[in-house]
Amino acid sequence: MALDSSTNSTLVSTKSLRYALPLSVHPCKLLFQRNDCIRVQSDGILAITGIPNIRSDHARLASQFACDLRALLRSFCDSTTAELNIQVGIASGPVSAGIVGVTKWHYDIIGDAVDEAVALQENSFPG
């Protein structure tokens, strides 16, 4: 599942982000935990479920995560002057995952399912 929360993000003032963003980080982490997702992207969100433990309900968890994140974003916008939207793309399939990098390591996931989710997200309507 790929999500891009950068749509219209320039409409958020630095002041409102400074005070409100820390309040939304913890609820977002809880969404990852509740839906058994892993975050692996810094520009936007790439959430993976069913890794490292295979789950038969991975598609439901990915869909639920997207819905929960949208509700969290709406709540954030309702409590601030922010006007933010997300774009979502969800795909399922085999991927390769592991630690990459020489001096600055990070966990990365690659595969056709990742590329498909990103393409779907890029072509989806913000909302």
In this structure, whether the domain defined by 2-122 belongs to CATH 3.30.420.10 is answered with: no
Kindly give the interhelix angle for 58-79 and 14-34, rounded to the nearest 10 degrees. Answer: 160
E strands, the chain, are 2-4, 37-39, 45-49, 87-89, 96-100, 106-110
pLDDT tens by residue, the chain, 127 residues: 444 444 433 333 334 444 445 556 677 778 778 888 766 555 577 788 888 788 888 888 888 888 888 888 888 888 888 787 888 888 888 888 888 888 888 778 888 988 888 888 888 888 7
Residue 114 CA to residue 91 CA, distance in Å, equals 7
pTM for the predicted model, two decimal places: 0.68
Beta-ladder partners of 35: none
